[in-house]
Structure 1
Amino acid sequence: MASVDRSAIVFGASGGIGGAFEAVLKDEGAFAEVRGFARSRTGADHVDLLDEGSIAAAAQRIGEGSPPSLVIVATGLLHEGGQGPEKALRDLDPAWLAKVFAVNAIGPALVAKYVLPLLPRGERTVFAVLSARVGSISDNRLGGWHGYRASKAALNMLVRNLAIEERRRNDRGIVVSLHPGTVDTELSRPYRGNVQPGRLFDPERAALQLLDVIEELKPADSGKLFDYEKTEIPF
């Protein structure tokens, strides 16, 4: 899907996986431009998913460069400070729930609102968001992690909706959710005690695995959730 006259865009490029995506795509040299945006960056590369205006401004800057054929939203919130995923109903906190939904579901949807229209029509394009297996309702057997699970489930539904709408604009466009597995980043660090040997991926490997999945995607895959082995995870 790479093209020397197209660009690749990574949102969340200061995170472990997002930074790896940006580095790998630059190393491959298959795009005219690879650009990363993140909340922690300043100036033209700053984007805060909690600030719609910053997303709109980033989209305007993207529109001034090479048209994007690959957009990856590699953002996510599982824990912050002393707040983490809920273990039981008694742990629910409305402010935390609102923030988790804002980052994990609403933010990526707003990125799509402003960036999907910039993708060229009539050619294969990919808009991919990082989701999680725990966001699958049908795969949920353990419960808990209410806000994270629910926000990722909401993200998956938004991806399905976006895929249907994007197909009307570009029948070769692909909008997809991706599960990277457990990656050695700050997001997973407190919660990976039961990870099986060989299933904790460094960020570069995780990025490479997902880029391989992206390379194999077909328009018929749009609106679905896939893991790092391109196994479809039912919603």
Structure 2
Amino acid sequence: MSEGRTIEAERGSPHLRSLPHGFRAVVIGASGGIGGALCSRLEQDPNLGELLALSRSGDSFDLLDESSIVDRARRFSQKPVHLLMCATGMLTTDGHPPEKSLRQIDPEIMLSQFRVNAVGPALVAKHFLPLLDRKSRAVAAFLSARVGSISDNRLGGWISYRASKAALNQIVRTASIEVARTHPEAVVAAVHPGTVRTTLSAPYSAGHLTMSPQDAASSILSALDGVRETGTFIAYDGSNVEW
């Protein structure tokens, strides 16, 4: 099937009008296709005050090393954070593609998927969500995937990836309840970015509508700008995704 079917977002740089002027942003996974595009879009926002871009290749940030996460959170803890983007994820493990059936489950590969897709973001939530502004609107978004939806699963397959993203969704939902007690204006959300033309999704994009990382970043930021309910699972276009 053709891979030429694309989605294009409205051109131009989206401004996060719902966040205060001079807002502070953190992007984790900044060296990835979507993470890098998010940083580029944010840097074009005239309301941005400060951006902390974290990645393994950029500054040796290690998603699976809690001490690394603690260290970076401390560096940015002097003033409140208004936007947290956790743009991390793993689909293939050491060249192994997602499973097509239960027969292909490998426990080590499954554990690797859970470490990157669930445990790492949970540690990010543990140490960065407390930094969100308590007095004004703040948004924390974790990149999930529609295939992590249990209700939407009608094809099967991709067991480890689906399960790890479903675990992430539960982490996000639970964190949103806890954060709401101390940060009444904060929104914590899981986001399905769509099928983005990145190294991660390239082998699996045939027959799907795809978009560039830049268009995906614009759409995601625009969608988050309009979200008012915390603990939600949304797609890049702002529509709700079934849990």
TM-score range, shorter chain: over 0.9
Q: How far apart, CA to CA, are the structure 2 residues paired with 1:223 and 1:92?
A: 31
Report the Cα offset of residue 35 of structure 1.
Answer: 1.6
- Tell me the equivalent position of 1:202: 212
Is 1:225 matched up with 2:233? yes
Report the Cα offset of residue 81 of structure 1.
Answer: 3.2
Q: Which amino acid aligns with 2:68?
A: S
Are the aligned partners of 2:191 and 2:234 in contact in 1 as well (CA < 8 Å)?
Answer: yes
Structure 2 matches for 1:77-88, cutoff 5 A? 77-88=90-101
Report the Cα offset of residue 22 of structure 1.
Answer: 0.5
Q: Which amino acid aligns with 2:33?
A: G
Percent of residue pairs identical:
46
State which of 214, 223, 232 in structure 1 corresponds to 2:224. Answer: 214
Q: How far apart, CA to CA, are the structure 1 residues paired with 2:100 and 2:46?
A: 44
Q: Which amino acid aligns with 1:146?
A: I
Q: Secondary structure at the match of 1:86?
A: coil
Report the Cα offset of residue 47 of structure 1.
Answer: 1.5
- Tell me the equivalent position of 2:19: 2
Cα RMSD (Å) of the superposition?
A: 1.1
Q: How far apart, CA to CA, are the structure 1 residues paired with 2:110 and 2:94?
A: 15
Q: How far apart, CA to CA, are the structure 1 residues paired with 2:202 and 2:118?
A: 22
Q: How far apart, CA to CA, are the structure 2 residues paired with 1:125 and 1:82?
A: 37
Q: Secondary structure at the match of 2:82?
A: strand
**TM-score, normalised by the number of residues in structure 2:** 0.90
Is 1:41 matched up with 2:58? yes
Q: How far apart, CA to CA, are the structure 2 residues paired with 1:147 and 1:140?
A: 13
Are the aligned partners of 2:56 and 2:62 in contact in 1 as well (CA < 8 Å)?
Answer: yes
- Tell me the equivalent position of 2:8: none
Q: How far apart, CA to CA, are the structure 2 residues paired with 1:109 and 1:123?
A: 24
Is 1:75 matched up with 2:85? no
User: What do residues 96-146 of structure 1 show as CA deviations (whole Å, max 9, x unaligned)?
Assistant: 111100110111110010011111212111110000000000000000000
Q: Secondary structure at the match of 1:7?
A: strand
Q: Which amino acid aligns with 2:155?
A: L
Is 1:116 matched up with 2:98? no
Q: Which amino acid aligns with 2:148?
A: G
- Tell me the equivalent position of 2:195: 182
Q: Secondary structure at the match of 2:58?
A: coil
Are the aligned partners of 2:19 and 2:138 in contact in 1 as well (CA < 8 Å)?
Answer: no
Q: How far apart, CA to CA, are the structure 2 residues paired with 1:179 and 1:82?
A: 23
User: What do residues 22-47 of structure 1 show as CA deviations (whole Å, max 9, x unaligned)?
Assistant: 011011131210121001123xxx32
**TM-score, normalised by the number of residues in structure 1:** 0.93
Structure 1 gaps of 5+ residues are none
- Tell me the equivalent position of 2:6: none
